[in-house]
């Protein structure tokens, strides 16, 4: 998917990822300081280095932002793709009930429009 993104979007994505990495690194350092100040019992868990954890969290946050932007921009396309399987099922049943090898496109469109619960265009 990243190969299909334009160069400007790639650059912006990488820039945002670096910003988020710095933010996450600061959060992790704060958490470590708080944990040191309120040290109770040391645990034997293997700890992930802060810089690696920050990179992972930043990458996840950047991906989440990108997905959110895609959803806002492509709402109509997403709705159409969600409706496609149902429309295909209606057309298949129309083929089966009519027992024809082919039929006009206009009649197929009318059939789908009549079968849909809400008006579609």
With a CB cutoff of 8 Å and minimum separation 6, the contacts of 95 are 103
Nearest to 88 by CA among 116, 65, 50: 116
CB 50 within 8 A of CB 17: no
Residues 115 and 90: beta-carbon distance below 8 Å: yes
Could you read off the pLDDT of 8-38 as tens digits, one per residue?
Answer: 777 888 888 888 888 888 888 888 888 777 7
With a cut of 60, say whether residue 104 has pLDDT above it.
yes
37-62: per-residue pLDDT in tens? 776 555 566 677 877 888 888 888 88
At residue 73, the pLDDT reads 65
- For residue 71, give Cα distances in angstroms to 76, 77, 86: 9, 9, 21
Tokens linked to 100? 């024809």
So what's the pLDDT on residue 50?
79
Give residue 49's pLDDT. 81
- In angstroms, rounded to a whole number, what is the distance separating the alpha carbons of residues 3 and 64? 18
pTM: 0.35
Report how far residue 95's alpha carbon sits from residue 91's, in angstroms, rounded to the nearest whole number.
6
Question: Is residue 58 exposed (0-12), middle (13-18) or buried (19+ Cβ within 10 Å)?
Answer: buried
In the three-class reduction of DSSP (H, G, I as helix; E, B as strand; rest coil), residue 81 is classed as: helix
């Amino acid at each position: 998917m990243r190969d299909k993104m334009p160069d400007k979007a790639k650059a912006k994505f990488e820039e945002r990822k670096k910003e988020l990495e710095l933010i996450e690194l600061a959060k992790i350092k704060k958490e470590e300081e708080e944990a040191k100040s309120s040290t109770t019992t040391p645990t034997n868990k293997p700890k992930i280095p802060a810089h690696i954890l920050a990179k992972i969290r930043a990458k996840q946050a950047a991906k989440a932002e990108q997905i959110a932007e895609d959803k806002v921009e492509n709402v109509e396309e997403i709705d159409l793709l969600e409706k496609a399987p149902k429309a295909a099922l209606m057309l298949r049943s129309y083929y089966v009930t009519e027992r024809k090898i082919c039929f006009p496109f206009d009649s197929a469109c009318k059939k789908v429009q009549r079968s849909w619960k809400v008006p579609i265009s």
